[in-house]
């Protein structure tokens, strides 16, 4: 199928949002907006909420953030964006700041959907409040930064009602070229898959500063550098590639060995800057995964290669997406994109093969709300998070770790300070 045809079909399906019967589940009327509350007004959070505003019927009506500076910046941004879309500015009473902002947002009767885009350490706590309040939730990955949080997330998942939709931010699954390749791989186009080679090589994250910020606030501003706040690069960033592998293989790894360390970075923080992990999946299928996150020389490359008895598949963020072998296939427009042409986007708004990933993910999510066909992705999100924790634990402990050992003895992380100090 040509890329243009696939996109047109996707757009046609998404446009079905506007042709719903007059009254649908959760009290939505046809063409009515889903009232969207953004929790975490940072770079990625703003990018996702902007995409929701442009691509779906969701309208940002509320903002919440720990820091007043971020909240004010968010308000200015969304007042301008809403005006450009013919929508009302955000009411002052719908702005929530401080340590309890997430609870105040969850308690608001004027919000239908909460987007959780806070540092990963807080995802599960914020998810619990949103689900308990009966909200629909779009939560960024990961579903927990340690096994304890992952277990908590699973318990929260059991409390999601039939009237609620909860999505986890694995938008790469919805990128049209990747989804088309995954359909063929899962249907057996490669035969028995013996091995997968994957990588995620990205530049270093940029330091964030704020005048007068103390050491705890500095950690929060630079949470990507902090193991407790982020889960390390394998759990926070590389998780997208591990998720795609789990999804296409239809399983999670049963054990892992790993190496890596902090070989280049010298700034504050304790996250590793490189990983090399060998994951073993059921059927003795192996994923050889490597990751780097350092340097400012523009290197960015992420993707997977599957090798099976009947063919191989190349599935990358950029470059040709194709299958060679008995069932040869290529995504229509990918030939025009040179391998490695993709550019890194710190806010997750990638182009090339991921150009429509956020859009299609968000349209599917909003349709699940307006149509009443709710879904709950928490368990799947936890499975992928645990898969990454398995590799992390194997690297830290420099030994082979099994899935069972991870669940029994996985590391637990503490923040080491209270966010109550940021009441201002």
Closest CA to 401 of 281, 241, 279, 284: 279
- What is the torsional sign of CA 114, 24, 381, 262? negative
**pLDDT class of 346 with cuts at 50, 70, 90:** low
Confidence at 296, pLDDT banded by 50, 70, 90 = confident
Confidence of residue 8 (pLDDT cuts 50, 70, 90): very low
Using DSSP's 3-state secondary structure scheme, residue 174 falls into: helix
pLDDT tens figures, 179-232? 999 999 999 999 999 999 999 999 999 999 999 999 999 999 999 999 999 999
Contact 176, 6 (CB under 8 A): yes
Return d(Cα 268, Cα 265) in angstroms, integer. 9
Query: What do you get for the CA distance between the two ends of the chain, in Å?
Result: 55
**Neighbour count for residue 20 (Cβ, 10 Å):** 17
Report the percentage of the chain scoring pLDDT > 70. Answer: 88
Between 6-20, 40-54, 122-136, 188-202, the lowest mean confidence (pLDDT) is in: 6-20
d(CA 137, CA 300) in angstroms, rounded, equals 31
- 71 close to 77: Cβ distance less than 8 angstroms: no
Instruction: Report residue 312 as tokens.
Output: 């191989």
Query: In degrees rounded to 5, what are phi and psi of residue 119?
Result: -55, 145
Rounded CA gap, 147 and 133, in Å?
Answer: 25
Strands 301-308 and 311-316: antiparallel
8 Å CB contact between 379 and 194: no
Q: Residue 158 in contact with residue 134, Cβ under 8 Å?
A: no
By the 10 Å C-beta count (0-12 exposed, 13-18 middle, 19+ buried), 383 is classed as middle
Rounded to whole angstroms, the Cα distance separating 286 from 373 reads: 36
Tell me the whole-structure pTM to 2 decimals.
0.90
3-state helix, strand, coil in the chain (%, to 5): 45, 20, 35
pLDDT value, residue 424: 78
> Which class for 183: exposed (0-12), middle (13-18), buried (19 or more C-beta within 10 A)?
exposed
Who wins on pLDDT, 392 or 335?
392
Copy the structure tokens of residue 187: 């249907």
**378 bridge partner residues:** none
Question: What is the predicted pLDDT for the residue at 298?
Answer: 77
Longest dimension (CA), the chain: 64
Predicted pLDDT of residue 45: 95
Average pLDDT, the chain: 90
User: What is the rounded CA–CA span in Å between residue 289 and residue 286?
Assistant: 9
What confidence score (pLDDT) does residue 299 get?
Answer: 79
Rounded Cα–Cα distance for residues 421 and 192 (Å): 55
Domains of the chain: 3-171 (3.40.50.720), 173-347+377-409 (3.30.360.10)
Strand segments, DSSP code E, in 153-211 are: 166-168, 193-202
State the CB neighbour count (10 A cutoff) for residue 347. 13
Q: Is the pLDDT of residue 20 over 70?
A: no
pLDDT at 334: 43
Confidence band (pLDDT; 50, 70, 90) for 63? very high
pLDDT band at 352 (very low <50, low <70, confident <90, very high): confident
Both tokens of 6, joined, read 């696939």
Among 16-30, 76-90, 129-143, 168-182, where is mean pLDDT lowest? 16-30
Tell me if 377 sits within 8 A of 168, measured CB to CB: yes
Lowest mean pLDDT among 31-45, 71-85, 317-331, 334-348: 334-348
- pLDDT, tens digit, for every residue of 276-294? 999 999 999 999 999 999 9
Residues with Cβ within 8 Å of residue 300, at least 6 apart in sequence: 201, 202, 203, 342, 343, 344
> How do residues 401-424 score in pLDDT, each as one tens digit?
999 999 999 999 999 999 999 997
Q: How far is CA 138 from the centre of its chain?
A: 10
Q: Is the per-residue pLDDT at 250 higher than 90?
A: yes
Arithmetic mean of pLDDT, 355-369: 96
Contact 197, 312 (CB under 8 A): no
Q: Using H for helix, E for strand and C for coil, what is the string for 337-362?
A: CCCCCCCCCCCCCCCHHHCCHHHHHH
Beta bridge partners of 281: 285
173: Cα within 13 Å, side-chain hemisphere: 21
94-113: average pLDDT:
98
Q: Are strands 311-316 and 401-402 parallel, antiparallel or unpaired?
A: unpaired
Residue 56, both tokens: 């779906």
Contact 84, 409 (CB under 8 A): no
User: What Å distances lie between residue 301 and 321, 339, 410, CA to CA?
Assistant: 14, 9, 30
14 has a pLDDT exceeding 50? no
Whether pLDDT at 270 is above 80: yes
């Amino acid at each position: 199928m040509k890329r243009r045809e696939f996109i047109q079909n996707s757009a046609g399906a998404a446009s079905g949002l506007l042709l719903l019967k007059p009254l649908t589940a959760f009290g939505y009327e046809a063409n009515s907006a889903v009232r969207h509350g953004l929790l975490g007004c940072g770079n990625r959070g703003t990018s996702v909420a902007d995409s929701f505003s442009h691509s779906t019927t969701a309208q940002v009506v509320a903002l919440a953030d720990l820091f007043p500076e971020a909240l004010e910046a968010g308000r200015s941004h969304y007042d301008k964006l809403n005006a450009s879309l013919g929508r009302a500015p955000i009411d002052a009473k719908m702005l929530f700041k401080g340590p309890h902002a997430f609870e105040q947002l969850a308690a608001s009767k004027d919000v239908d959907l909460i987007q959780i885009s806070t540092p990963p350490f807080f995802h599960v706590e914020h998810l619990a409040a949103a689900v308990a309040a009966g909200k629909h939730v779009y939560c960024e990955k990961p579903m927990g930064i340690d096994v304890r949080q992952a277990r908590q997330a699973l318990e929260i998942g059991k409390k999601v009602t039939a009237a609620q939709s909860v999505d986890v931010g694995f938008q790469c699954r919805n990128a049209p070229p990747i989804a088309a390749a995954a359909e063929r791989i899962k249907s057996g186009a490669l035969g028995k898959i013996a091995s997968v080679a994957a990588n995620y090589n990205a530049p270093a994250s940029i330091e964030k500063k704020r005048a007068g910020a103390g050491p705890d606030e500095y950690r929060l501003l630079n949470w990507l550098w902090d193991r407790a706040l982020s889960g390390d690069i394998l759990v926070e960033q590389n998780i997208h590639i591990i998720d795609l592998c789990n999804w296409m293989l239809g399983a999670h790894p049963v054990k892992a060995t790993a190496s890596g360390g902090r070989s280049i970075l010298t700034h504050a923080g304790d996250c590793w800057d490189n990983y090399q992990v060998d994951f073993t999946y059921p059927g003795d299928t192996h994923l050889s995964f490597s990751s780097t996150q350092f340097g400012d020389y523009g290197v960015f490359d992420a993707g997977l290669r599957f090798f099976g008895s009947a063919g191989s598949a190349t599935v990358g963020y950029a470059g040709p997406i194709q299958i060679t072998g008995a069932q040869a296939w290529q995504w229509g427009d990918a030939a025009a994109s040179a391998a490695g042409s993709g550019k890194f986007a710190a806010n997750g708004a990638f182009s090339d093969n991921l150009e429509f990933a956020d859009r299609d993910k968000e349209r599917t999510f909003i349709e699940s709300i307006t149509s009443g066909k709710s879904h709950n992705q928490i368990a799947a999100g936890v499975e992928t998070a645990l898969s990454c924790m398995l590799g992390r634990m194997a690297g830290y402990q420099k030994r082979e770790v099994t899935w069972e050992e991870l669940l029994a003895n996985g590391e637990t992380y503490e923040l080491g300070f209270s966010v109550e100090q940021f009441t201002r």
